[in-house]
Structure 1
Amino acid sequence: MRYFHSYGPVDCQEHFCVARTALIDNCIEQLIGNPQKGGHYFTLWAPRQSGKTWVMQQVAQAVKDQYKELFHVAMMSMQGIVMEQEDSPDVFLDRVPHLFRRAFKQRIDRPRSWEELSELFLADSGLFDRPVILLIDEFDKLPALVIDRLVSLFRDMYLDRSNFVLHGLALIGVRAVLGVDSERGSPFNVQRSLHVPNFTKAEVSDLFGQYQTESGQKVSPEVVNAVHAATCGQPGLVCWFGELLTTKFNPGQDKVIDMAVWEETYLAVVHTEWNNSILNLIKKAQSPYLPQVLDLFTRSDLPFSIRAEWCSYLYLLGVIDKEKNLDGGAVRYVCRFASPYIQTCLYNALTRDLMGERPPILPLEPMDELLDVFSGPELNLPALLDRYVFYLQRLKDSGLNPWHNQPRRTDLHYTEYVGHFHLYAWLQNAVQDYCIVSPEFPTGNGRVDLHLKCTDKEGVIEVKNYTNQAKTKRYIQQAASYASNLTLPSITIALFVPLEDETILARLSKSYEIAGVQIVVRAIGWV
């Protein structure tokens, strides 16, 4: 029986896979163009673990099958080329014989110059007796100067293609193939740039359908939908989730993989399961563009622009994505995290980075058993937030500033996300023996819901920042609707207000009832 595979290219004879026929056909069309006159030189890009290498393997084999002996078809990988950014570009020429031996099965001497390298592709005196289709994988592995040299050679061949046999060329990678890191810009016409998209919901369903057919074990449709919703169809993550659901967390072949199994699996992938791609994304998010990443947790209107360096960097690496919105009748693009799962992993990692592993004082007073929080028929979350407000006061009385060294905006107020992360960190410490606290992002950016699951009780705290009364009223209406959808009798809003005036905070802290749902607003002052 085949199985889910999440690291490296899949083998459809061994692993569950998605055909992606339209994408493969498009790549073939770009490479072949006019078989008699020449194909195109183009770039194929996507974040890590998106299936780029597998797609090009399928393309190379399809060209071989369809065009038989008409072309030399070769895949060349830069994965094993070890060079430093400060190395002379000529060091790459030392690696050329090795690359040609593996890709073309031909032994050549080291080219004495870059011009001699291009002469290997000359039509009248080069190495090949027929047109060449070349696919270069892991192009980003090369130093920027080497990329510039190679791109110059390829561009020259394209413009003088009657004298060269390089019929079609594909460069595969993440950022460098689009010219993002080069002063010269894109290697080729940007219109010839192809993106490997995420799996659609239908393709995710197809993968799990293959598993059910071959294993005989049922996977509930809700689980399949949850996998797609959590990952937004990112191929590497979808297959990793499938691998865990059907192996490590599989309840047994005679049992259904249902939502209980999903919840156990999801909790593990957030907190205990290792994934190199997620680790890489967290490292990228902790780049010089960390302020923009943090802003995304509290803003739903951050404009998306591929021309902005921070935006293109995070987008091409798979940290964020774009979303088309209607704003006052005008269409605009805004930034979104690439998936709820990635957003959750970042939220947990950045909470530890910003707030540390342990609070500077006890999160609760000694002997506080939180009886008023847990003794009733439902969680008393306003009472829990009262403890948080008192915790802030105890910090102040001890001469400790909880916001020390945290970033401020240009108006000298602390940035909105600081309070969000601080409350989450405090809750994890305060109720860790009673509840599981998990952040959820039901509408993407700009909204953080902290879900507390405590044995037989659960509740939700919506974290908001005070701007004005009109927005606060909208928060209350939205919270009521959200609680109703979750069939919760009540919901609590933690409203961070940039002042410490107790009179105003008391006026903002109110209870409301809308359509049978109790909404409690607890205003929290911070300056």
Structure 2
Amino acid sequence: MGRRFNTAGPCLPAEHYMIPALSRLPEAPGLVDLKAYFVVHAPRQTGKTTALRALAQELTTQGRYAALHFSCEAARAAGDDFGAATLGILQWIKEAARWQLPSELRPPPWPEAPAAALLGTALGAWAEVCPRPLVLFVDEIDALRGESLVSVLAQLRDGYNKRPAPFPWSVVLCGLRDVRDYKAAAGGDVSRLGTSSPFNIKLKSLRLGDFTAGEVTDLYGQHTTDTGQRFAPGAVDHAYELTGGQPWLVNALAQEIVEEIGVPASEPITVEHLDQARERLILARATHLDSLAARLAEPRVRRIIGPLIAGDPLALDPYDDDLSYVRDLGLIAPDPPVRAANPIYREVIVRALSASVQESITADPRSFVRPEGGFDLPKVLSEFAEWWIENGEFLTSRGYYDEAAAQLILMGYLQRAVNGTGVVEREYAVGSGRVDLHLRWPYTARDGTTQVQREGIEIKAWRTGRSNPLQAGLRQLDHYLDRLRLPAGTLAIFDQRRGAPAIDERTALSTTTSPAGRTITILNG
């Protein structure tokens, strides 16, 4: 069987298309040479384990070090029982060494010691007899919690400080988050994550980045080389645009096309195939996307994602690490401005948060299809206005993502209306003051030709202490419609001021003319 795109577990060179792991952590070998204790962190499903395994193997093969990769994942069940966690870690070290290291580099029988010092004592005994400097890659370190994490980090720090007494030459901790959050995982004060870490000996934190555009081209090119299946002009660039280079998404899109949609190798993979695969992944709630969406309920995540969807400015206190935390999770881009990490995550976030709204909508999506096959947006807006009068106050009073509740509700209603036939693409960013929607509805016209109806919609909120956003919204919508090359559009304005008129008094549909002369439908809610 030939190689394939991998979306589950570490990549194996003989079985999977993959980017050379060592190229993704170019600084790591130099830090090992410096005897450094350092951190590698990255969101889930970005290739951390693949890269660490390859680096450990390379260091051992070169003959200078005894480098071992092992995981703490199974220690999650130990909780605060640091004695059980330590025994488990030592057992996993011994098992990993049996497969990764030649016999002369493997650890001796572990010595006896009190539970609170057993890990440090055992590692010191191994370092003392090992004929090469010992390097440990400790994967899934943030699987440890509470007292177990405190104990492990304290023993590593104590052994580091006692050098040149025998102890590992270099230790690399790898997990989902940067070291500053280990304090929280160990039971520290989450509100003061800027204070001293229980692992304050680390020299550096390395973030494993997403694939570059060139690496996506390389990965997909391996498939072409192996199978002869080409990517049509623009397809690889579109894959990079959709995924932002996120490794799991890059592989998942291609795997969906090749293995699930089943595009024959004799046919090229097109932009349309990628868009189809994107929608299928989102609708299927693939494990990676589902686990990502589950994070949205965390208060620290809500503090960032809520303003992001609403387009509001971020107001963060000094030493507030929530922004860095959400970046470490991979939900938002690693660099300013604050925005969703990629278009697929941008869609997953909104669909996950508006899913309950879609479940509560009883309107039949088929009623929004015109006789000639087009999408009846005026009818959707009219029925939404009636539904909003009945349900809006209740749905926006629940306190869950309240700053973006109205925007999420309208987006959920539209998503339900298009019902998988059409596509709603969204743009939102912190400080933008709006959400922009591009609705695309493909249909077969009566003459047999395929048509795509497109609509441009902007959503704004009228906040307490701010002026009516109508004029600013019309100007912004003109710019958006210029980009889409559309002659008309829709502007929805939700009055969220304290003391606003009753919902049945303010909810209405009207039309106006934009500064550029376009006819604009206004939805006030």
TM class by shorter chain equals 0.7 to 0.9
From 268, 291, 298, the counterpart of 1:287: 298
What is the letter of the counterpart of residue 50 of structure 2?
A: W
What is the letter of the counterpart of residue 520 of structure 2?
A: V
From 329, 345, 349, the counterpart of 1:346: 349
Paired with 1:220 and 1:188, the residues of 2 have a C-alpha distance of 50
More moved, 505-514 vs 105-114:
505-514
Provide TM-score, normalisation by structure 1. 0.82
What is the letter of the counterpart of residue 137 of structure 1?
A: D
What is the letter of the counterpart of residue 77 of structure 2?
A: M
The answer (yes or no) to whether the contact 1:100–1:107 under 8 Å persists in 2 is: no
Provide TM-score, normalisation by structure 2. 0.82
Paired with 1:358 and 1:125, the residues of 2 have a C-alpha distance of 62
* Counterpart in the other structure of 1:327: none
* Counterpart in the other structure of 2:360: 358
From 293, 309, 313, the counterpart of 1:297: 309
Distance 1:135 1:431, change over 3 A: closer
* Counterpart in the other structure of 1:328: none
Q: Does 2:476 align with 1:473?
A: no
From 435, 438, 442, the counterpart of 2:424: 438
Aligned residue for 2:26, secondary structure, equals: helix
Aligned-residue offset at 1:472: 3.7
From 255, 259, 264, the counterpart of 1:252: 264
From 71, 77, 100, the counterpart of 1:83: 77
Aligned-residue offset at 1:158: 1.9
Q: Percent identity?
A: 21
More moved, 505-514 vs 474-483:
505-514
5 Å-filtered alignment, 1:190-209, equals 191-209=203-221
Aligned residue for 1:74, secondary structure, equals: strand
Paired with 1:133 and 1:421, the residues of 2 have a C-alpha distance of 49
Distance 1:215 1:100, change over 3 A: closer
Paired with 2:137 and 2:69, the residues of 1 have a C-alpha distance of 5
Paired with 1:140 and 1:423, the residues of 2 have a C-alpha distance of 38
More moved, 163-172 vs 12-21:
12-21
Distance 1:116 1:390, change over 3 A: closer
Residues 345-380 of structure 1, C-alpha deviations (whole Å, 9 max, x = no match): 121121123x36123xx5489xx956xx84799766
What is the letter of the counterpart of residue 403 of structure 1?
A: L
Paired with 2:412 and 2:261, the residues of 1 have a C-alpha distance of 28
What is the letter of the counterpart of residue 414 of structure 2?
A: L
From 404, 408, 429, the counterpart of 1:421: 408
Q: Does 2:49 align with 1:53?
A: yes
Aligned residue for 2:288, secondary structure, equals: helix
Aligned residue for 1:252, secondary structure, equals: coil
What is the letter of the counterpart of residue 56 of structure 1?
A: L
Aligned-residue offset at 1:241: 1.4
The answer (yes or no) to whether the contact 1:96–1:111 under 8 Å persists in 2 is: no
Paired with 1:122 and 1:502, the residues of 2 have a C-alpha distance of 70
The answer (yes or no) to whether the contact 1:121–1:166 under 8 Å persists in 2 is: yes
What is the letter of the counterpart of residue 30 of structure 1?
A: L
Paired with 1:213 and 1:219, the residues of 2 have a C-alpha distance of 11
Q: Does 2:28 align with 1:30?
A: no
Aligned-residue offset at 1:407: 2.4
Aligned-residue offset at 1:236: 1.5
5 Å-filtered alignment, 1:365-444, equals 374=370, 381-393=377-389, 395=390, 401-403=393-395, 405-407=397-399, 415-430=402-417, 432=419, 435-441=421-427
Residues 201-260 of structure 1, C-alpha deviations (whole Å, 9 max, x = no match): 221122112222222122124322222222211111211112112222242222221122
Aligned-residue offset at 1:268: 0.7
Paired with 1:507 and 1:351, the residues of 2 have a C-alpha distance of 23
From 139, 154, 159, the counterpart of 1:152: 154
Aligned residue for 2:263, secondary structure, equals: coil
From 115, 129, 142, the counterpart of 2:144: 142
The answer (yes or no) to whether the contact 1:217–1:255 under 8 Å persists in 2 is: yes
Aligned-residue offset at 1:508: 9.8
What is the letter of the counterpart of residue 2 of structure 1?
A: R
Higher helix share: 2
Paired with 1:176 and 1:111, the residues of 2 have a C-alpha distance of 33
* Counterpart in the other structure of 1:170: 172
Residues 248-302 of structure 1, C-alpha deviations (whole Å, 9 max, x = no match): 2242222221122122212111112x42222111111112346423332112532
Aligned-residue offset at 1:450: 5.1
Paired with 1:43 and 1:218, the residues of 2 have a C-alpha distance of 39
Paired with 1:125 and 1:48, the residues of 2 have a C-alpha distance of 31
Aligned-residue offset at 1:522: 0.9
Q: Does 2:214 align with 1:216?
A: no
Paired with 2:76 and 2:404, the residues of 1 have a C-alpha distance of 40
Distance 1:283 1:54, change over 3 A: same
Paired with 1:97 and 1:291, the residues of 2 have a C-alpha distance of 38
The answer (yes or no) to whether the contact 1:93–1:111 under 8 Å persists in 2 is: no
Distance 1:276 1:379, change over 3 A: closer
What is the letter of the counterpart of residue 119 of structure 1?
A: T
Paired with 2:124 and 2:277, the residues of 1 have a C-alpha distance of 56
Paired with 2:503 and 2:151, the residues of 1 have a C-alpha distance of 65
Aligned-residue offset at 1:2: 2.3
* Counterpart in the other structure of 2:489: 491
What is the letter of the counterpart of residue 522 of structure 1?
A: I
Paired with 1:309 and 1:443, the residues of 2 have a C-alpha distance of 19
The answer (yes or no) to whether the contact 1:174–1:317 under 8 Å persists in 2 is: yes
* Counterpart in the other structure of 1:522: 522
The answer (yes or no) to whether the contact 1:497–1:523 under 8 Å persists in 2 is: no
* Counterpart in the other structure of 1:278: 289
Residues 378-427 of structure 1, C-alpha deviations (whole Å, 9 max, x = no match): 7663453233223334x27xxx854364329xxxxx94422112223333
Paired with 1:75 and 1:303, the residues of 2 have a C-alpha distance of 41
Paired with 1:74 and 1:450, the residues of 2 have a C-alpha distance of 50
What is the letter of the counterpart of residue 484 of structure 1?
A: D
What is the Cα-based RMSD across aligned positions, in Å? 3.5
Distance 1:473 1:377, change over 3 A: farther
Aligned-residue offset at 1:197: 0.7
5 Å-filtered alignment, 1:318-333, equals 318-324=330-336
Aligned residue for 1:162, secondary structure, equals: coil
* Counterpart in the other structure of 2:112: 111
Query: When the two structures are aligned, how many residues end up with a matched partner?
Result: 489
Distance 1:176 1:374, change over 3 A: same
Paired with 2:74 and 2:48, the residues of 1 have a C-alpha distance of 17
5 Å-filtered alignment, 1:11-30, equals 11-19=12-20, 21-30=22-31
Paired with 2:340 and 2:59, the residues of 1 have a C-alpha distance of 36
- Structure 2 segments unaligned to the other structure (5+ residues): 99-106, 189-195, 444-450
Residues 311-352 of structure 1, C-alpha deviations (whole Å, 9 max, x = no match): 34322222233543xxxxxxxxx5322222112112112112
Aligned-residue offset at 1:502: 10
Distance 1:174 1:509, change over 3 A: same
* Counterpart in the other structure of 2:87: 94
Paired with 1:49 and 1:124, the residues of 2 have a C-alpha distance of 32
What is the letter of the counterpart of residue 354 of structure 2?
A: T
Paired with 2:17 and 2:162, the residues of 1 have a C-alpha distance of 43
* Counterpart in the other structure of 1:131: 133
Distance 1:92 1:157, change over 3 A: same
Paired with 2:54 and 2:331, the residues of 1 have a C-alpha distance of 27
Aligned residue for 1:320, secondary structure, equals: coil
Aligned-residue offset at 1:40: 0.5
The answer (yes or no) to whether the contact 2:230–2:268 under 8 Å persists in 1 is: yes
Distance 1:32 1:264, change over 3 A: same
* Counterpart in the other structure of 2:447: none
More moved, 136-145 vs 502-511:
502-511
Aligned-residue offset at 1:41: 0.6
- Structure 1 segments unaligned to the other structure (5+ residues): 34-38, 325-333, 409-413
* Counterpart in the other structure of 2:4: 3
Q: Does 2:28 align with 1:40?
A: no
Aligned-residue offset at 1:31: 0.9
Residues 134-178 of structure 1, C-alpha deviations (whole Å, 9 max, x = no match): 111111122232222222222222222111241111111123744
